[in-house]
Structure 1
Amino acid sequence: MIEFASPFSIGLGAIIALSLLGLPIGLSMITGSILYLAASDQDMSIAAEQVLNGLNGSYILLAVPLFIFSAGLMNAGTMTDRLLGFCNMLVGRLRGGLGHVNVVQSVIFAGMSGSAIADAAGSGRIIIDMMKRGNAYPAPYAAAITAASAVIGPIIPPSIPMVLYALVADTSIGYLFLGGVVPGLLMAVAQMAINALMARRHGFPVSARVPLRAMPRLTADALPALLMPVILLGGIYGGVMTPTEAAAVAAAYAFLVSALLYRSLSARDIYATVLAAGRSTSAIGMLIAGALAFNYVVVSENIPQTVRLVLGGGEMARWQFMLVVNAILLVLGCLLEGTTILLVVVPMLLPTARALGIDPVHFGVVAVVNIMIGLVTPPYGLLLFIVAKLSDAPLGKVTRELLPFIAAMVGALLLIAFIPGLVLWLPRRFGYTG
């Protein structure tokens, strides 16, 4: 039982109050942690010590700004446009073809950016305009499938959320990346099935077939972009480079292809991309700093052990624990920002998961998928607001169109959660022994 005036309640109350007043959650967590230290008569400099120690020893975190920057370069150049042309050649001729193109391009783009926001804000703008052209697809539907497909981005490697999970769980990034491949493809299949169903129900058009003579040109145009995930993942799993080094290679490759090969990147574009990447990195960095400070509070108060007792400790079966975890993360995803959940809530659940013998790679992929679904779940879902703005569609209508996709993704999530082999099959092919 938490006392009303205990140091923990003072710190937690400050975090909630400041967040409600509009202060960024990272700053709120730092402030609440300092208040906790003051109320418990501890040295307040411990907060700074926790932040500095956590960031100083985390070489892996360099991957975050580099992946953000590489995604920005791809969107600023014409790599995304060429990928869309290639995807349209593959699946555009099917009924509801542009919806399928939307999903397939997200699968391919996922192998480059690692960010759902980058996917939606970049290629999403282009594909929404394509779908709306000539009133072929209602704007709310175009926005809904764009938001749903963007969720795939951080599940298929590389993945910024998996980098953050590896930080808090001390787990191999390489095996986490491999663990996301099959779940990401499963999510894509589920979304394409819903799109096919909706296309038949609403009579969505069939796109014109791409002439056979145009296919080699479209493939050649997209080939440099298509090679990027091959180079990155081949380098990581071939032992040539670490995931952080792969992020640097991704940024360099995106720059060289966009600026020198496609000649579609101006100095103004580069400046805007650097600025946007800096802003995004600063926001994520502040969240990480707040989480590192608050995690000291959590450990000091034995919150993970309390959570384990509340959840039944060793008496709870694995499937029961996974069911509870999915319910908790899905509900929190409706209310909180995903990075906050990953850095603050997931570490509280990890000790119980380990005690029950749940594989950390499997648990991490399940947690990331939950958090990604939260990006499209009202009322907070950040992707909802982004795609509604891009499509000029009312938020309520976009949400209604999203419901079948959310249901399909939750169904895929349950398969991933209760059939560990879907996650662990590929890592084990590459030597994982967990």
Structure 2
Amino acid sequence: MEFLSSELQSGLILFGVFGVLVTLGVPISFAIGLAATATITFLISFDQALFVVSQKMASGLDSFTLLAIPFFILAGNIMNSGGIARRLIELAKIVGGRLPGALAHVNVLANMLFGSISGSAVASAAAIGGIMSPLQRKEGYDPAFSAAVNAASCPTGMLIPPSSTLIVYSLISGGTSVATLFVAGYLPGILMGLGVMVVAGIVATKRGYPLIPLPSFKEIIFKIADAFLPLLLIFIIMGGIIGGVFTATEASAVAVVYTLLLAVGIYREVKITDLPTIILESAITSSIVLLLIGCSIGMSWAMTFSDIPYAIGEALANVSENPFIIMLVINICLLVIGTFMDMTPALLIFTPIFLPVATELGMDPVHFGIMMTYNLCIGIITPPVGSALFISCSVGKVAIQDLIKPMLPFYAAVISILMLVTFIPEISLFLPRVILGYGG
């Protein structure tokens, strides 16, 4: 390997070891940590490499910002059990019930609302899809079409705040403002949902799917009032963060207290005896995510120490000097990566690689973070690893092979909007500039 540069050798070791371990079925967190250690061992002694990688993992997790993740996970799990999804669906029926293919639009709107509160695409796909699929089947909707609508719209909650994914990006990007990222996610997330609604409306019109009967004024007022308290959480969290009342981490703790009051004290759909199970499930999920983050921080440091991002940046620069072409190549790479790797590890591993390239081209870190998050959202609804896609198949009782064809027009819609988000920075930066006075 003497004819290869040290950066290329390090890159081959890093991604080679990682790829082999994942292929062998090693859990991805351990695969990342071992690949990082093997790469550093190529440059320094094994004892030193083991010590440094462990130290970087521990110091990377010593972050006040990261405390938001377990709190938001706990708040989401409480909401899943607290009847909040059903109330948001009733509200969505009022908004989308008179559009062609009404129940499909209700599914999209409910995913946007529930996802923005829970911050989890998988939770949204399970909670909303579990309720909407039987309703749509009863009204004569094609089950594959219903599952496709649910899958395509559930990632909107990863962009519409609060989003734990954007918190992870904030950490790995070197401290990009969480509040700015949250505000920047609104328009792209809403556009993603609207794109899905346009496709769903076209298909529903061709197939003649029915509208929802218009409820009485009294019923409308009741449903709005019933969904008011869950929706109020969004205003409390975002209002508090934007107004400087509390940080994103403190907002996550507020979210837990508020959802507990709703689920246990007001709606009484969660019992005190249910809480140990909910807390245990949240702790297990949080430990998996935080171990993954710690190992990925170790890998990020290993890549930086080995000058791998610099080498990749040089390679991209050799592809073209046109920023448009380079950003298109980055998007294609991320789309491919997203089909084989879950969202969080992909974000943690490839942000340190592509962010320096993007900033060198003059791209704002907030804009890049939204673009990257949006791109990887598509990965969770594409085979073979798309977790939200498989959840939608499960709750919709549809085989995965029957879902691919109905998903194609939705893929076209969300990728088209990805291109808009990539090449029109104001889609991401307009609200931060207006609301926060962001000058990036």
TM-score (norm 1): 0.95
Distance 1:320 1:37 in 2: 33
Cα gap change, 1:404 to 1:229, in 2 (>3 Å)? same
User: Which of 186, 204, 208 is the aligned partner of 1:203?
Assistant: 208
The equivalent of 2:239 in structure 1 is 234
Gaps of 5+ in 2: none
Mapped contact 1:317–1:356 kept (Cα < 8 A): no
| Aligned amino acid, residue 150 of structure 2 | T
1:47 is the counterpart of 2:53 = yes
The equivalent of 1:28 in structure 2 is 31
Mapped contact 1:174–1:237 kept (Cα < 8 A): yes
User: Which of 176, 180, 184 is the aligned partner of 1:175?
Assistant: 180
| Aligned amino acid, residue 153 of structure 2 | S
1:342 is the counterpart of 2:379 = no
User: Which of 249, 252, 258 is the aligned partner of 1:253?
Assistant: 258
Mapped contact 1:180–1:423 kept (Cα < 8 A): yes
Deviations 1:114-151 (A, max 9, x none): 211121122221122222225x2121111111111101
Cα gap change, 1:8 to 1:107, in 2 (>3 Å)? closer
The equivalent of 1:288 in structure 2 is 293
User: Which of 11, 15, 23 is the aligned partner of 2:18?
Assistant: 15
Comparing 64-73 and 358-367, the one that deviates more: 64-73
1:159 is the counterpart of 2:163 = yes
Cα gap change, 1:303 to 1:8, in 2 (>3 Å)? closer
Distance 2:121 2:180 in 1: 20
Cα gap change, 1:131 to 1:297, in 2 (>3 Å)? same
Mapped contact 1:107–1:153 kept (Cα < 8 A): yes
| Aligned amino acid, residue 428 of structure 2 | V
The aligned runs of 1:107-146 (5 Å cut-off) are 107-134=112-139, 136-146=140-150
Mapped contact 1:318–1:358 kept (Cα < 8 A): no
Distance 1:335 1:45 in 2: 30
Aligned to 1:380, what secondary structure does the other structure show?
coil
| Aligned amino acid, residue 16 of structure 1 | G
User: Which of 328, 331, 349 is the aligned partner of 1:326?
Assistant: 331
Deviations 1:362-396 (A, max 9, x none): 00000000000111112221111111111110101
Mapped contact 1:132–1:138 kept (Cα < 8 A): yes
| Aligned amino acid, residue 159 of structure 1 | S
Cα gap change, 1:4 to 1:321, in 2 (>3 Å)? closer
Distance 1:85 1:348 in 2: 44
User: Which of 173, 191, 195 is the aligned partner of 2:196?
Assistant: 191
1:365 is the counterpart of 2:370 = yes
The aligned runs of 1:294-333 (5 Å cut-off) are 294-312=299-317, 316-333=321-338
Cα gap change, 1:78 to 1:412, in 2 (>3 Å)? same
Mapped contact 1:314–1:356 kept (Cα < 8 A): no
1:390 is the counterpart of 2:402 = no
Query: CA shift at 1:15, angstroms?
Result: 1.9
The equivalent of 2:281 in structure 1 is 276
Distance 1:22 1:397 in 2: 27
Cα gap change, 1:5 to 1:354, in 2 (>3 Å)? closer
| Aligned amino acid, residue 52 of structure 1 | A
Query: CA shift at 1:157, angstroms?
Result: 0.9
Query: CA shift at 1:337, angstroms?
Result: 1.3
| Aligned amino acid, residue 310 of structure 2 | Q
Query: CA shift at 1:237, angstroms?
Result: 0.4
Task: Among all aligned residue pairs of Structure 1 and Structure 2, give the percentage whose two residues are the same amino acid.
Answer: 34
The equivalent of 1:148 in structure 2 is 152
| Aligned amino acid, residue 338 of structure 1 | M
Comparing 208-217 and 150-159, the one that deviates more: 208-217
Aligned to 2:75, what secondary structure does the other structure show?
helix
| Aligned amino acid, residue 98 of structure 2 | R
| Aligned amino acid, residue 296 of structure 1 | W
User: Which of 86, 97, 101 is the aligned partner of 1:81?
Assistant: 86
Distance 2:380 2:245 in 1: 34
The equivalent of 2:438 in structure 1 is 432
Distance 1:331 1:397 in 2: 22
| Aligned amino acid, residue 366 of structure 1 | M
Comparing 25-34 and 228-237, the one that deviates more: 25-34
Gaps of 5+ in 1: none
Distance 1:389 1:52 in 2: 37
The equivalent of 2:415 in structure 1 is 410
The equivalent of 1:352 in structure 2 is 357
Query: CA shift at 1:341, angstroms?
Result: 1.2
Comparing 415-424 and 295-304, the one that deviates more: 295-304
| Aligned amino acid, residue 325 of structure 1 | I
Comparing 386-395 and 206-215, the one that deviates more: 206-215
Distance 2:95 2:14 in 1: 54
Distance 2:179 2:417 in 1: 23
